[in-house]
Amino acid sequence: MSIYPLPDSPNTVVHNQDGFQKKVLEPTRLARDDAHIETAIVYCEANFGAVDGKTANGLVRQSERYKILSVIDSEKAGLDAGMVLDNVPNGIPICHDLAVSLTQAESIPDYFIFGMAPSSGMLSVHERSVIIEAMGNGMNIINGLHEFLNDDPIFKAASLANNVTIRDIRKPRDKKKLRMFTGRVMDIPCRRIAILGTDCAIGKRTTATILTRVLNEHGVKTVMIATGQTGLIQGARYGIALDAIPSQFCAGELEATIIEAYENENPDVIIIEGQGALSHPAFSSSAFILRGSCPHAVLLQHAPTRLYRCDFDQIKMPNLADEINLIQTFSNTKVIGMTINHENMNDIELTKAINSFEHELGLPTTDALSRSPDRLAEIIFTAFPKLLEISLAAA
């Protein structure tokens, strides 16, 4: 039950086969006629619905720029993409290969999106051939890997020959144009909230997206800053691919992006998508996010059933109390709540985990996907009562 008189969300409530009450987010699109929305096929062979398929997963759940026509994954061919992800059909078919996907489309799609995020960040020989095939069919390419296709003579030649473009999402601007940290972000009066996590690919972007939407629904103007390739591909208006920027400029580039969002939008809240985990020995993105955004608060995302770090089966997941202490010691901020990734959990197990974290950690806890998004708003309003006043005034 809501402790505040929050208005009802317009999203649809359904129940899936595991007993979760899920609020299905209505598709978010740019404010323009559907006939002008660019169409896309998403490639996610053998990874859709899995950790390394997070780009495809995100695009199927939400895309402000592209209408997703189908997903390519031969292992799940014939299934509905929404059913695979959330046990809720969305009408996006999963196809065996590119040929079948093209047959499903009424016309050649505008884009072929590489929808996987492997730890190597590089293409296999087969994946290269599929992208060349897509270009041969007249499709532009969206590439979120660390391997920049515009720098490859073979892809560059194919682009010219087929009169198509390649967008290397992670490629940073020229070093001469990269910005250093100035401290100006601390002068921005709106609240800055970072969505951090205890591991990679744990749902930080999804939670950030849902939180941004629900706060806006409750009259609190909120802007999200994307910090990874998936958020940028989904159509985030503000963001950078943080892990592709030289470390000297990471905090400055994030700060400058936040300042730009504030000056252009004048929001009440800025949500910063997290990357990796502060305690993760392989990555440093969380440190740059805390430094560059200087957040007033943090929501921490965790997967209770995950024993080892994603793609690192020798590195155990951190203790939650230790992770919270590390964040609050490293940065002048406060963890105000927990959000859960319910992978490999049923509803009873999830409810038990939520109650356990609230009792043991003293932090309000929810699951952005299987519980009402209003609970996320409650957590924010409890931490920042002035935002509740804004919401009530807008109601």
Annotate the chain with three-state secondary structure.
CCCCCCCCCCCEEEECCCCCEEEECCCCCCCCCHHHCEEEEEECCCCCCCHHHHHHHHHHHCCCCEEEEEEECHHHCCCEHHHHHHCCCCCCEEECCHHHHHHHCCCCCCEEEECCCCCCCCCCHHHHHHHHHHHHCCCEEEECCCCCHHHCHHHHHHHHHHCCCEEECCCCCCHHHCCCCCCHHHHCCCEEEEEEECCCCCCHHHHHHHHHHHHHHCCCCEEEEECCHHHHHHCCCEECCHHHCCHHHHHHHHHHHHHHHHHHHCCCEEEEECCCCCCCCCCCHHHHHHHHHCCCEEEEEECCCCCEECCEEEEECCCHHHHHHHHHHHCCCCEEEEEECCCCCCHHHHHHHHHHHHHHHCCCEECCCCCCCHHHHHHHHHHCHHHHHHHHHHC
- For domain 32-168, say whether CATH 3.40.50.720 is its number: yes
pLDDT of residue 2: 37
- Tens of pLDDT along the chain (395 residues) come to 233 333 333 333 344 444 454 444 443 333 334 446 899 999 999 999 998 999 999 999 989 899 999 999 999 999 999 999 989 999 999 999 999 999 999 899 999 999 998 877 789 999 999 999 999 999 999 999 999 999 999 999 999 999 999 999 999 989 999 999 999 999 999 999 999 999 999 999 999 999 999 999 999 999 999 999 999 999 999 999 999 999 999 999 999 999 999 999 999 999 999 999 999 999 999 999 999 999 999 999 999 999 999 989 999 999 999 999 999 999 999 999 999 999 999 999 999 999 999 999 999 999 999 999 999 999 999 999 999 999 999 98
**Whole-number Å distance between alpha carbons of 113 and 233:** 9
Report the amino acid identity of residue 313: D
**Whole-number Å distance between alpha carbons of 222 and 213:** 8
Looking at the DSSP bridge assignments, the partners of residue 197 are 301
**Whole-number Å distance between alpha carbons of 310 and 118:** 11
pLDDT of residue 30: 34
pLDDT of residue 36: 65
| pTM of structure | 0.88
**Whole-number Å distance between alpha carbons of 90 and 28:** 13
- For residue 161, how many other CB atoms are within 10 A of its CB? 10
Looking at 3.40.50.300, 3.40.640.10, 3.30.230.10, 1.10.150.120, the CATH number of the domain 177-394 comes to 3.40.50.300
Domain ranges of the chain: 32-168, 177-394
Same fold yes or no, 32-168 and 177-394: yes
